Chains A and B, each alone.
Chain A
Amino acid sequence: MGIGNTSQQWGWLSKTLHWLTAVLIFVQIPLGFYAESLKLSPLKMDIFVWHKSLGILVFLLLILRLLWRIKGTIPKTVGASLIQQYLAQAAHCLLYGLMVLLPISGWITSSAANIPIKLFWLIPLPALVGPDNALKSLAAEVHEISVFVLLAVLILHIGAALHHHLLLRDNTLKRMWF
């Protein structure tokens, strides 16, 4: 298996980035809900540092994935009708869009709340906007709606992968594994 994708196979870079993102998102979602549920405390602030750091990491990995995808190719879809192919493409676009919208709306929420961000307690991020209560509420709302949309699309994404693997018994899921 090479680094690059072919029309039949995913390369190891795409696979690694896909599963790394998957793990990060599955940590991110409960971490966000947990942090939000806590009352203001040092623990809450630490959990939020993790949440913000991992969220920006997902965003950076996404940029890498998109560049890699634009630069190279991706394997052909197997055993799917034209409608299913369009649906799959739409779902993937939506996933990419949400991986942009979630970190950016989170970053705006933090900046509008006048709370500076330091990734992994090391790298300070600039504020995207100044303190603004109305904008903070709006960005937080977008962030929250986005996570529910993400959950719905993830169910579709995982459901489709399992459908291919368990019912259609094709190699869609297998070829994403190492």
Chain B
Amino acid sequence: MKIIRFLAGLFFLLSFPAVSATDWQSDSANSHLYFAPSYEGMAINGAFKQFSTTYQTDSQGQPDSLRVNIAITSADLGNSDLNEAIGAIDWFNISDFPQAQFISEEFSHSGDGAFLAKGTLQLKGFKKTITVPFRWQALSEDSASMTGELILSRNDFSIGTGEWASGEQIGLAVKVWFDVVFTASKTHL
């Protein structure tokens, strides 16, 4: 009788597909993090070429933690002169702050497959609480995509100081958007 009860219990457990927490790791070759400052109201599209993201879902498949590391040194506005200019002290100051980081452990559901990640963005020595909306979509059994878009104010991080701070030519609002592909790197019970 005991063995039957054990098998019944095992069967019961296995009948739930998502019973374990999962670590997801971004696949850098297929992941993109874009940013677009504006010049006289017109977008200048750029990207951070190097960044990595880890994401954890709990046993219910719900978000648990999100961590994004961004190499600010990889910022690319499509023009070598502009790239050099934005590394300067009044913009990103990449020699002192080559990395940015976003960490969130507070999530809320905002629709079907849509979430809000509230967390801290550390950029150019500043730490600000921001909310990042994203959509999570399974691509296969062990891969998924995360997409989203938000607007940041560059003055919150003193990016573009002095004569640039007014936002007259280079706007204060910077659009940031991403399309990240994850693979499940580790599943633990």
Contact = CB atoms under 8 A, between A and B. Distances in A.
Interface of A: 40-42, 45-46, 49, 112-116, 118, 121, 124, 130-131, 133, 136
Contact of B168 (A42, A49, A115, A131): A42
B48 interface: no
Contacts of A130: 78
17 contacts: A41-B163, A42-B163, A45-B39, A112-B79, A113-B78, A114-B77, A114-B78, A115-B44, A115-B82, A116-B43, A118-B40, A130-B78, A131-B77, A131-B78, A131-B79, A133-B79, A133-B80
Nearest to A112: B79
Interface string B32-44: 0000000111111
A161 to B, nearest CB: 39
A42 B80 contact: no
B24 to A, nearest CB: 31
Given A131-B78, A133-B80, A116 B40 contact: yes
Nearest to A40: B85
Contacts of B169: 42, 45-46
B86 to A, nearest CB: 10
A26 to B, nearest CB: 26
B58 to A, nearest CB: 41
Contacts of B44: 114-116
Given A42-B164, A42-B168, A45-B169, A113 B42 contact: no
Nearest to A125: B42
The 3 closest A-B pairs by CB, nearest first: A131-B78, A114-B78, A116-B42
Interface of B: 39-46, 77-82, 85, 163-164, 168-169
A112 B79 CA distance: 8
Contact of A113 (B41, B82, B164): B82
A53 to B, nearest CB: 12
A18 to B, nearest CB: 32
A148 to B, nearest CB: 22
Contacts of B82: 113-115
A38 B77 CA distance: 20
A116 B44 CA distance: 7
Contacts of A113: 78-79, 81-82
Nearest to B83: A133
A56 to B, nearest CB: 15
Given A115-B39, A116-B43, 9 more contacts: A40-B81, A40-B85, A42-B164, A113-B81, A115-B44, A115-B79, A116-B40, A116-B44, A118-B42
A41 B160 CA distance: 11
Contacts of B85: 40
Nearest to B77: A114
Contacts of A46: 169
A133 to B, nearest CB: 5
A114 B42 contact: no
A41 B169 CA distance: 10
B39 A116 contact: yes
A36 to B, nearest CB: 12
